Amino acid sequence: MADCPKCPPAGAPLWLATFADLMSLLMCFFVLLLSFATMDAAKFKKVAESMEDAFGVQKDIVALEIPMGTSIIAQHFSPAQTKPTPIEEIKQSTNQQSTKLDVSAEEMDKVKQKMLQAKIGEIEDQADKIEGSLAPEVGEGLVSVETEGLKIIIRINEKGSFPSGTAILKAGFEPVMEKITSAVNDTTGIVHVAGHTDNIPISTDWYRSNWELAAGRAVTVADFMMKKKGIDPNRIVVEGYADTKPLVDNDTAENRAKNRRVEIIITQPDPTLGLNAEDVSEIIQTDSLKDKIN
């Protein structure tokens, strides 16, 4: 007897087996998710209450606590202990250090003032030491040493150092230059070597103007310092000012002699540059003012 063309084939349809496998896999997936999850009782209660309101479930007795029951998953699995990730640890440490940044503008100014005063005190001590090493030359009026803020100025007078109208050191002045170079070597910072003249114009075969004479004397001093004692050339800055920066008025021969000079200016870095609130907070808490200055 032939099969009825209108009757479906015997057995389950072919797609049903694939569908059943898919449902089984989904169920296993959600069971695994539930087993790995950490249950938050407070959040679960809020979600349950929200669901009750959404579906209109009413109870005569208000449940203040989540009903306790026996869970098959809880019998065989325990919630995993959560550990902070590296990102969370960084956030926590950043929040803890943020308390150091609470520094007022007044405290910032006070700390900067103290740092500047301490640095100026160190510079004055260095200047006294240099002046002591050049005591005979200072007494003869060949050189002088003074400070100006964060600067130490070693002033070489024309007397005994350069013949008039030339940029060649006198032969007897080399020992003095060696002492000056040794003193500069014991310091830090940028060294400006600046030449100055009086206001009487000069025009010779060697020097066309006071600018050229001033720059030539500064170059002579800088070259001596770098060759004799090996001062780092990166520290040296050579400058020529001619008669644009006189010490005194060029109205007498004595004053003009004072203006003819070469200045070695040792400029120390400002310790307060780049100082932020966190640095100030650290200085206040640890009293590390000396380390910050150096």
Q: What is the pLDDT along the chain (294 residues), one digit of tens a residue?
A: 456 666 766 777 778 888 888 999 999 988 888 777 766 677 777 777 777 766 655 555 555 666 565 555 555 556 566 666 655 555 555 555 444 455 667 777 787 788 888 888 889 998 999 999 889 989 988 899 999 988 999 999 888 788 888 889 988 888 899 999 988 888 888 999 999 999 999 888 888 999 999 999 999 999 998 887 678 888 899 999 999 999 999 999 999 989 999 999 999 888 777 666 666 666 666 655 444 445
| Ordered structural domains, the chain, with CATH | 14-93 (no CATH), 105-267 (3.30.1330.60)
Name 270's Cβ contacts closer than 8 Å, sequence gap at least 6. 116, 119, 150
Which structure tokens are listed for 200? 């009487």
Q: How many C-beta atoms surround the C-beta of residue 231 within 10 A?
A: 18
Whose structure tokens read 């550990």? 83
Q: According to DSSP H, which parts of 98-163 are helical?
A: 105-133, 135-140
Q: How many C-beta atoms surround the C-beta of residue 226 within 10 A?
A: 15
pLDDT at 238: 94
Closest CA to 167 of 200, 191, 197: 197
Closest CA to 191 of 157, 227, 226, 241: 226
Please give the distance of CA 47 from its chain centroid, rounded to a whole number. Answer: 51
This prediction has a pTM of 0.59
pLDDT at 98: 47
pLDDT at 119: 87
